[in-house]
Structure 1
Amino acid sequence: MANSKLMAFVIVAAMLLMPSSVVAASISISSVSLPATVNQGDTFTTTMSVSGSSVSSVSGTLTLPSGLSCTPTSSQTISLDSSGVGTGSWSCTASVAGDYTNQITAGVSATDSSTGSSVSDSKQSGLRVLSPASLSVTSSIVAGSV
């Protein structure tokens, strides 16, 4: 009987000391914003909005096709506010005209604060880069008789 009371006490104590719930870590890209169209040679800003919970070491990256370049070129740290929302921005240049629809990959990764494992998300985006307009003028003089 004493052993069963001791066992019951140990079980109740273990249950009270056990965390009541484990919150799963999450990170996601809410949006990627950039212009739909730019002209060749233009500079534009790309902004990624992320949301997460129970994470640390949040970083964002852009994977680009040739013809587009952005700085920073490597990943950048994204700080989440108290509500778990943050943004990262890149300054980009369109050096080659073309249709880059769905050719930009925005990625975010973070570390689960409880387990240390990685969590991540990615989203495709893109834009069109137009060739600059050109104008050509030709003139000629016709020789006439006087």
Structure 2
Amino acid sequence: MSSSASETPDDAILNDDMRAFAHRMRVEFPRFLMQYRFVVDEMLAKVSILREEFLHLHRYNPIEHVSSRVKSPQSLLAKMARRGVGPDLDEIRSQITDIRITCSSIADTYRVPETLTSQDDVRVLEIKDYVAHPKPTGY
């Protein structure tokens, strides 16, 4: 007797769902990660241009440090679990978004995002103000 003979209808559906999810992840997830990397690269380019513009026009650079990373699949899955994000790529795309820029002063911390988001092709989804509302960890 095979193990599938003892499956309940719910088990069969779950297995079909899990198989479909595994297939999507195997086929679609690498493309998703590539697109994610491209978006990060595009934002880095915008920030780099903004730095150059400030230096050229104002002889001043409010951006002290820019760093980026594309999360590893394991890190991304852990963040999804922490935030309760389901295994749907569109949901991941809409819920796991962030960019971090370190500025020289508190005033610059507000000036840089304002300048960056005033561009027509940048859309702000959410702003977390860790200056006004620091995390308990101090971040």
TM range (shorter): under 0.3
Max radius of gyration: which structure? 1
RCO higher in 1 or 2 (8 Å CA, sep ≥ 6)? 1
More helix per residue: 1 or 2? 2
What's the TM-score, normalizing by structure 1? 0.27
More strand per residue: 1 or 2? 1
